[in-house]
Amino acid sequence: MVRWGIIGCGDVTEVKSGPAFNKVDGFSLEMVMRRDAAKAEDYARRHKVPRWTTDADALINDPAIDAVYVATPPSSHLPYALKVAAAGKPAYVEKPMAMSHEECLEMAEAFEKAGVPLFVAYYRRSLPRFETVRRWIEEGRIGTVRHIHWSLSRSTDYGVRPDNWRIDPAIAGAGYFADLACHGLDLFMHHFGDIAQVAGVAANQQGLYRAEDAVAASWRFESGVTGSGFWNFAAQGPMDEVMILGEKGRIDYSVFGDVPLKLTTAAGEETLAVAHPPNIQHPHIENIRRHLAGEGRHPALGREGAKVSAVMDRILSDFYG
């Protein structure tokens, strides 16, 4: 039995991830930490977690905790992760992995030195829906892939409130681009390999907060596939469309939306609905179990997470200097 503790039992842990630790065979959620004692106690009560604390160090160093899930905002990922590595325990860290590529590398190196694994919550790598896309590509359903494009937009008032850390660069590392685009960029690299070349521009079009709210980029994978995308949080309404263009067809899907996959070839159009699990990180956490049991390599270890941050850093380099 691997006994888990969570640092930062906030919204992401309520449904997406937290309950999955008690659904994976051989895992149990034994302790949670939050700075607000009332909220920590409430989470533990509702999720039937035996213990709670307001002290992260106490959780990390507790001999009855074997592994730690760091689910706090990005600004605290590195310091907490380094403490977990120093304690000689595996860690699962939320995305984006850290505030910068440099922090990601420091984190990955600490766990390599400690001889324990570091897992990153790029859970789309483990979802059946996107594994179907990967299988279509590998089967040659659209021939040789030429280009991938992602269009993501949200309305002008999306997440604009004083207590939203996701639009505070000091806490999030950037704005909603870092929070959301990392999922798609990581998924694309999972499908097509490392990004060898990237260029981007970013702007703050609304002036409602300090972070960027408009980003555009183009890139080239080492495989030769090219890519492009835009992410705008000052638009009329929501859009989330990915198009993979091949020599013999195309695949269309959404990174975040619950919409069917679409395959278009000379033979016609095929759609396939692949439902997400109730706890969307469940397959990813199951893959942690498999990795720890020696049954296979986890698809999103620390080095993979660092590569995503390197790409985002380069795209935002002119905006943040």
The pLDDT value given to residue 13: 98
What pLDDT is attached to residue 162? 87
pLDDT for the residue 311: 98
**What's at 151, amino acid-wise?**
S
DSSP-derived pairing of the beta strands 67-70 and 51-53: unpaired
Both structure tokens of 158: 């999306």
Describe the crossing of helices 128-138 and 182-192 by its angle, rounded to 10 degrees: 30
Evaluate if residue 321 carries a pLDDT over 90. no
Nearest to 173, CA basis, from 273, 228, 251, 104:
104
**Average pLDDT over every residue of 14-25:** 98
Kindly give, in sequence order, each residue whose CB lies less than 8 Å from that of residue 235, ignoring residues fewer than 6 positions away: 153, 154, 155, 156
Please determine, for residue 100, whether its predicted confidence score (pLDDT) is greater than 90.
Answer: yes
60-96 pLDDT per residue, tens: 999 999 999 999 999 999 999 999 999 999 999 999 9
Residue 273: the pLDDT is: 98
Lookup: tokens for 297: 């390599």
What b/e readout covers 137-171, taking b as 16+ CB neighbours within 10 angstroms?
A: beeebbeebeebebebbbeeebbeeeeeebbbbee
pLDDT band, residue 102 (cuts 50/70/90): very high
Band (211; pLDDT cuts 50, 70, 90): very high
Model confidence band, residue 124 (pLDDT cutoffs 50, 70, 90): very high
Return d(Cα 123, Cα 92) in angstroms, integer.
11
157, 163, 159: which is closest to 179 by C-alpha? 159
Q: Where do you find CATH 3.40.50.720 in the chain?
A: 2-121
Q: Give the CA dihedral 159, 162, 168, 170, nearest 10 degrees.
A: -160
> What's the whole-number average pLDDT of the chain?
97
**CATH 3.30.360.10 residue window(s) in the chain:** 128-275
For 116-181, give the DSSP string: --EEE--GGGG-HHHHHHHHHHHTTTT-SEEEEEEEEEEETTTT-STT-GGG-HHHHSSSHIIIII
Max Cα–Cα distance, the chain, nearest Å: 60
Residue 239: predicted pLDDT? 97
Do 172 and 179 meet the contact criterion of CB atoms below 8 Å apart? yes
Q: Which CATH architecture has domain 128-275?
A: 2-Layer Sandwich (3.30)
Counting residues of the chain whose pLDDT is more than 70, the rounded percentage is: 100
User: Hey, CA dihedral for 288, 193, 96, 253, is it positive or negative?
Assistant: negative
Cα 12 from Cα 96, distance rounded (Å) = 13
Fold for the domain defined by 2-121? Rossmann fold (3.40.50)
pLDDT in tens, 170-199: 999 999 999 999 999 999 999 999 999 999
